[in-house]
Amino acid sequence: MAASCAQSDKARPKIGLAMRSFDDSVSIVVRGTIETAALDRAELAIIDGQGQQSAQDKQTEAFFDKNIGAIAINPVDTASLGKIIDKAKAKKVPIVFFGLEPSDESMRSWDKLFFVGTRRADEGAAQGEILASYWKANPAADRNKDGTLQYVALTAAPTGQDDGASADAAAKALNAAGIRTTLLGSEPAAGGIAAAQQKAAALLAKHGDKIEAFVCDDDETALGAVDALKAAGYFKGKKRMPVVGASAGEISEAVAAAIASGGLLGTAETDSASQAKAVFDLAYALAKGAASWRSGLKITDAKYVWVPCRKVTKDNPSAKK
C-alpha cells in the first residue's frame, strides 16, 4: 500500500499556483488553461492573492508545509520576493514566475528559479512590423516625403525596468524593413487612458504634424493616444495617424473596437493560453524532480521561457473566443 501511494504521489505531483488575482480576464484564461493541463497529471493548490502582495506572500508560504513539488507564482509586486525565494531555497522547492518578471538579481539568486513570459522587445518588434506594413502600403503616411518615419513613444511608469524597450525594438524592426526612423519625443504615461491622453496631447502640441506614428507600451496608453488624436481632428476624412499598442493578455472589447474602426492600427497581443501551458509544463517537470529541459520547452539562459506574441490588426483580428 505504501509503495502504491508513493508511486501515485510521484505520478501526480503537487503544484502550488499563486495567482495575483482571480478576477481579471487574463487570470481567468491562465488559471483555466493550467487547470485543464493538470487534469489526471498533477494536484493543484491554487490561491488568490486578491491583488495584495502581503496576502499572496502569506498564502504562498503555506505551500511549503504541504509537500508541494513546485510553485508557479504570478507576483502582485516583484519588489518583495526575497522572503519567498529564500524559503524556497531552504525547502528546495523550484519556482516558476510568470506575469511580472523578477529582477535579474532575484533570478540569479538560485538556479531553481524560472520565468515564463513574452519579451518586451518581441512586443516592440511586432509593433514595428505592423507599422512597416502600414508605411509601405500608404505612401501618404510619409507626410514630409523624407523617407523617414518620425514617431513618438508613450512608455509605462518611469520606474519600470523595461521602459523604452518596446519603442526601441519597434524602431529596429522598422529599420530591418528598410525604413529609417527618428524618435521625436517620449513621455511616461502610466495612470490609465485619461493620463495617456494628456501625455499624447502634450506631444501633439510640441511636435504637431511632424509626428507620423505613436508607439505605445500598452493598450491603455494607445487608447489614450487615439482619444488625443481624435480631439485634434484625426480619424476624420483622410487625416490618419498610425497608433500601435501592446496587450498583456486577451485584448479588451474597447481595443478590438478601436482596431475595427481604424483608430488603433494594431497591437502586440500576449498569448496568455500558450504562456499558461508553458508554466504548467515547466512546473510539472520540476515537481517530478526532472531537469527543466525535460519539459520540452526551450529554456534560454537556463532560466527563461519566451513565448511569442501575436500581431493583431484589422486584417488579422484577435483569436479570442
What is the secondary structure of 75-113 as a DSSP string? -S-GGG-HHHHHHHHHHT--EEEESSPPPHHHHHT-TTE
Mean pLDDT over 15-39 rounds to: 92
Q: Cβ distance 20 to 56 under 8 Å?
A: yes
pLDDT in tens, 33-45: 999 999 999 999 9
Q: Which residue has the cell 493550467?
A: 34
pLDDT at 317: 83
- Residues 291, 80, 35: CA angle, nearest 5 degrees: 50
pTM (2 d.p.): 0.82
pLDDT given at position 234:
96
* Whether pLDDT at 5 is above 90: no
Q: Are 285 and 295 in contact (CB under 8 A)?
A: yes
* pLDDT at 8 (0 to 100): 39
Q: What is the mean predicted confidence (pLDDT) over 102-106?
A: 94
Percent of the chain exceeding pLDDT 70 equals 93
Mean pLDDT of 14-34: 91
Angle at 106 between CA 73 and CA 61, to 5 degrees: 40
Mean pLDDT over all residues of the chain? 90
pLDDT score of 235: 94
C-alpha 306/C-alpha 298 separation (Å) is 8
Q: Does 139 have pLDDT greater than 60?
A: yes
Q: What percent of the chain has pLDDT above 90?
A: 76
Q: Give, for 2, the enclosing helix (H) or strand (E).
A: helix 2-11
The pLDDT of residue 4 is above 80: no
* Tens digit of each residue's pLDDT (9 = 90 or more) over 197-253: 999 999 999 999 999 999 999 999 999 999 999 999 999 988 999 999 998 777 889
Predicted confidence (pLDDT) at residue 7 exceeds the cutoff of 50? no
Q: Which domains does the chain have, with CATH numbers?
A: 2-118+271-309 (3.40.50.2300), 120-270 (3.40.50.2300)
Is the confidence at residue 6, as pLDDT, over 80? no
Residue 318: band (very low, low, confident or very high) from pLDDT cuts 50, 70, 90? confident
The whole-number pLDDT of residue 251 equals 84
pLDDT over threshold 60, residue 2? no
User: For 147-186, how does the pLDDT look when each residue is reduced to its tens digit (9 = 90+)?
Assistant: 999 999 999 754 444 556 789 999 999 999 999 999 999 9
Predicted pLDDT at 197: 97
